[in-house]
Chains A and B, each alone.
Chain A
Amino acid sequence: MMVSRVISDSGLKICESGAAIDIRLPWYRSLPLSTVEIGEVRIDGQLVSPLAMTFEVNNKRYALDQLADKCDEWWYVLDSGLIHIINLKLERGSQHEVSVTVGIRPPYIPGFYRLTECTKQLNAE
């Protein structure tokens, strides 16, 4: 089921601003960002503050609380999204338990809210 693909295999990346987690949309079709919520993110059990994260889709980065306004910015179903964690320093090759919760509200099913939680052991690459 798609839940196991929320976090991509080899999805923990070291980048200039810190670290990034490669995630996938847990639904069969593209959705506007306004219907997507990035919920709890944990690295090795430690909750990451939402203020320390941004979310990147289509080469654009958003603060997590900006997503709700992005009614016309689409997350195509085959694309990865990147959760950037600012200033998180990871050693290349080190292993970490990464946990991400994503909520979606498919816009054609009023009142339906689906929360998916995915946890993987990943090496920082």
Chain B
Amino acid sequence: MMASNSGLQLGVTLFSFTNEFHSRQYTLEQLIAKVAELNLGPGIEIVGFSSVRGFPVVTDEFAANFKELLAKHNLKPACLGLNADMYKNPNKPMTPDESLAYHEAQLDATAKLGFPVGRYQFLAGTDVIHRLLPKAERLNVKLGLEIHAPEHVNSPIVMQYRELYAKENSPYLGFIPDFGSTARRVSPAFISYFRQLGLPEALITLAEEMWLSKDDPNNPTAKIPEFQARAKAAGFRPVDIAECFIVFGLFSRQQPAAWREIMSQIVHIHGKFYHFNEDGSESAIPYEEILPVFVEGGYNGYMVSEWEGHFLCDDGGFAKVQKHQELCRRILAGCGAQNAVTS
């Protein structure tokens, strides 16, 4: 586990290298070696259902090799991404008992691979997380709810978890901010992508305008059906609407300072990014405003660089992550963070 005064440490999720992995250019071992070579650690996050064949079953051999690999490269297990696959059967969601068993198996895998934190998703539900807590405590694995766009620290679903956390008051219950929820615009990378696909300019404009319009804090997902309905009424093709609506699920515009409310419960961070301005700043997510909030708030833990651009292009992730970490180091140095030089 991380020392309690380590500050904000950098790292990377292997999700950033989806193109390299999916195209079979890099194996898991090669990705990890390259991360070490480029000094993109020390924190490592993986997605269980991506990096591990047969997940959530993890063989003794796989676990031993994986831990040895990280140790050899001086990398630290930071977080394992768990999934709430409630709709494995698309016509019949899992019962709470099935979901609990599904999460328990993934939590066992998290511990077996040596990860101190398991990222979980909203769909798990507070009852399942409540019932999972004793096992998390026994395994010494923290459960981190990812707060992903369009949700925010005060949205109704997050409040349900905050109420559970307040009642349980356990250090094994935490949050994982995803900075896509602290954006100030739709990433220009998506706008270019939509144009490249040949989507009608008026549809792109409608999406951007609606994204910028006033949000209903009590119903963060409201804009998705609203956009779909308006776009349909305007006569756009369903396939084009389906491409475009994703901006409402990847970006939302909570104020960076809002993270302060839950700062003491934050156990890990997804440093989401897509695209940079010429000066090296992220073109939609204001890291210059976000990171100081965490330094001033005394956050101790990892922020892993999470490039999701594989959705938009075939580029590799390594150069993007390097650029992201350069930006973050610069900002951290500027606000006097203790780890800015060493990480």
Contacts and interface: CB of A to CB of B under 8 A. Distances in A.
Interface string B90-102: 1101000000000
A113 B133 CA distance: 32
A66 interface: no
A28 B15 contact: yes
B195 interface: no
A30 B123 contact: no
B313 A108 contact: no
Contact of A29 (B50, B84, B89): B50
B87 A105 contact: yes
Query: Would you call the interface of chain B mostly helix, strand, loop, or mixed?
Result: loop
A114 B312 CA distance: 14
Nearest to B15: A28
Interface of B: 15, 18-19, 21-24, 47, 49-50, 53-55, 83-91, 93, 121, 123, 239, 242, 310-314
Given A28-B15, A35-B88, A107-B86, 6 more contacts: A5-B23, A28-B310, A29-B47, A32-B85, A74-B54, A115-B239
A110 B87 contact: yes
A95 interface: no
A47 interface: no
A1 B312 contact: yes
Closest 6 CB pairs of A and B: A107-B85, A29-B49, A29-B50, A107-B87, A28-B18, A71-B89
Contacts of B55: 30
Interface in A30-45: 30, 32, 34-35
